[in-house]
Amino acid sequence: MSVRLVASVRLVAAVAVLVSAVVHLKLWFDGFRDLHVVGPAFLLNAVGGLVIAVLLVAWRHWVPAFLAAGFGAATLGAFVIATTVGLFGVHEHWVGAYVWVAAVSEAVALVAGVVLLLARPAPSARSSSVQSEDRFSLGRLHLH
């Protein structure tokens, strides 16, 4: 996969995670914050989604791709559970724009994260030194 295509998929994953995070924050403000377990989970989803989106754009490493795939799978999975058997007393339905926007964005995050993980070169194909694409820089602090 070309560097340009990988960068595009990373951007798609970041936007997808961010869209889901924004939807969850909006719903949290619209009353989900008052639900015992689900309220804090929605806020955590919003904050976590923002962090993952930033990491996808700023850190060319496999970890953000893994987080995006996990975010998509976990968030979409929790909603499926809430629509079938219920989740902590919440029984949702596949109705409304927010539901569909979040579900599609989570599916996109899952698929894009997996594509990014599969696009990684095999360990033997990588040099033994840390490549520039595997660095996350914060001023003078470099994480490998």
Listed range (11-15, 16-20, 73-77, 90-94) with the worst mean pLDDT = 90-94
Given pLDDT bands bounded at 50, 70 and 90, which one contains residue 126? low
Element (H, E) at 136: strand 136-138
pLDDT > 50? residue 129: no
Q: For the chain, give every domain's residue range.
A: 3-120
Instruction: Give pLDDT, residue 124.
Output: 63
**pLDDT, mean over the chain:** 87
Instruction: Give the DSSP per-residue string, 49-72.
Output: HHHHHHHHHH--SHHHHHHHHHHH
pLDDT > 50? residue 35: yes
| pLDDT tens profile 46-99 | 999 999 999 999 999 999 999 999 999 999 999 999 989 988 888 888 788 999
